[in-house]
Structure 1
């Protein structure tokens, strides 16, 4: 159970902050059930991740891609092709519907005015 430090990995990933982000990503992958590339040797996931980086068993490029993929809000499949015309027409339709719909306060004020007019029209004689 050798001690792994940031200095062991700094020649693989030159920025300490990037190293920590990548090691944390790998530790999350290991927690999620990813296959280990070396013997765990009773180490916790962050230590295993640092050991894998130090031994160059997993590349920083792979970890960067996985990290970016996990942080993306929209995941495109390989067969999905963004359709600019369809997206624009859907946006235009949504804007048109929004413009046609009266605002809530206008609708309620119209109802109140109609109710007041109806009440004033009632003859109490």
Structure 2
């Protein structure tokens, strides 16, 4: 069983925090089914990841990109309907002004939202 030390890995990744983050990401990748670049020798995934880093078998830029994308959370947020209604009203107003009609240029009232209505 090959031994891996921090000194072996620090030569490749000088920042210990980055080293831990890279090794953790690589161990997750191995758990997800990524190809291992060296013999496992019955080592667990974190040890294999550190050995790969220590032997400079990985592309550090690619590993950094995978780490960043793995930590990002993306949520699609739809625009509120009011924004869409405002845009439509602005377009109508611009069209009416372009035609020169003063009466048509009067802004229309926005419909009230359900939570804005007064209940008795």
TM-score, scaled relative to structure 1: 0.65
Aligned equivalent of 1:28: 28
Q: Which stretches in structure 2 are left out of the alignment for 5+ residues?
A: 87-109
Write the distance in 1 (CA, Å) between the matches of 2:69 and 2:51.
Answer: 23
Match of residue 44 from structure 1 = 44
Distance, in Å, in 2 between the alignment partners of 1:6 and 1:94 is 56
SS of residue in 2 equivalent to 1:63: helix
Number of aligned positions between the proteins: 95
Distance (Å, rounded) in 2 between the aligned partners of 1:96 and 1:62: 40
Question: Does 2:83 match 1:95?
Answer: yes
Runs of 4+ in 1 over 6 A off after TM superposition: none
Residue 49 to residue 101, structure 1, CA distance change in 2 (3 Å): farther
C-alpha deviation, 1:52, in angstroms: 0.3
- Cα distance in structure 1, aligned partners of 2:64 and 2:31: 17
CA contact (8 A) 2:24 2:46 kept: yes
1:95 Cα offset (Å):
2.1
The structure with more helix, counted as a fraction of residues: 1
Question: CA RMSD for the aligned pairs?
Answer: 2.6
Q: Distance in 2 between matches of 1:40 and 1:94?
A: 58
CA shift digits 1:53-108 (9 cap, x unpaired): 1111112212101111222334xxxxxxxxxxxxxxx858642549744362x42x
Listed as ranges, the gaps of 5+ residues in structure 1 are 75-89, 113-125
